[in-house]
Amino acid sequence: MAGGNRATLGGAANSDMAEYWNDRAGPNWVRYQRQLDGQIHVLGEMAMDRAVLQPGQNVLDIGCGCGDSALGLARRVGKNGSVLGVDISAPMLDHARQRAALEAELNLRFEQADAQTHKFPPAAFEHAFSRFGVMFFDDPVAAFSNIRGALKENGRLSFVCWRALDENPWMSVALGVAYIFVAPPEAIPPNSPGPFMLAAPDRVREILSAAGYADISVAPLNEEIYLSGPGTVAEAAQHTCRMGPVARVLADSDDDTKRQVEAALNTTLAPYHDGTGVRMASSCSIVTAGVGSY
């Protein structure tokens, strides 16, 4: 993701995302890694269950971020398998390597790369996986085609991605609170890179079919998740104002406005606390597909 590594990352493709994930979002993800993993870890594990990974397989983890999903994959394929985690964020990969060093028995490595353009070794992996890491490509057909080229003849792709915003109260409720104090941003054009680029199942099928995949399944996953991992209402409200959709909305706001939003979130989120943390409904798709014919 770092702007200084554009040549390594495939020229101009995804250059805005590279800058964003290196200079702004990446350091924040590292700072809040514990809370973020506490939020989406379970969804990644459910997607891995559907992937039916086997010991000894070689797996490509796309958009691996701070390494939580890559570690989970490596534990599943065992010492006779391997996992390559790729991401465009140098700060997140540095953190992932530190975490992986604590489990040195795993056959796991990381590489800074843009999966849309990176020259992966051909037919090297039995499986490609992603936990919320494939919604940011500026040319998703090209990206998934490139990933397909890295899969073996009988290889499989699987990933989990968000469905629409209005199906995800864990995001929409907090944003509704923020919009009491700040004006909503301009609507993002449909199909633009971002969290909801793959929200529509038909869009997912269209992209993967154009990229050469077959046997495509887009299955809904509706699950309550922690808003910020286990913790207090105050911790969830604070985290929501510093990371994610609300934080982006508040980026140019003054400190007084941010304090007002955080106070309002404390009140709004309190009924969702279940004694362990703030838990709210989420909606995702677990997508699986086969390589198809070369």
Question: pLDDT tens across 95-135, in order?
Answer: 999 999 999 999 999 999 999 999 999 999 999 999 999 99
Query: Would you state the pLDDT for residue 14?
Result: 61
Domains of the chain: 3-167+188-227+278-290 (3.40.50.150)
């943390």: which residue's tokens?
Answer: 277
Q: In the chain, pLDDT over 70 holds for what percent of residues?
A: 90
Give which of 160, 201, 125 is closest to 51, Cα–Cα. 160
Q: Cα(85)–Cα(74) distance, rounded to whole angstroms?
A: 10
Number of residues that make up the chain: 294
Q: Cα(173)–Cα(265) distance, rounded to whole angstroms?
A: 9
Q: Cα(59)–Cα(125) distance, rounded to whole angstroms?
A: 5
| 55 backbone dihedrals φ, ψ, rounded to 5° | -55, 140
Q: Per residue in 11-58, pLDDT tens?
A: 345 666 666 666 566 677 788 888 889 899 999 999 999 998 999 999
Give Cα 260 to chain centroid, integer Å: 29
b/e map of 187-216 (b: 16 or more CB within 10 Å)? eeeeeebebbbbbbbeebbebbeebbbeeb
pTM of the entire predicted model: 0.90
Q: 60 pLDDT exceeds 60?
A: yes
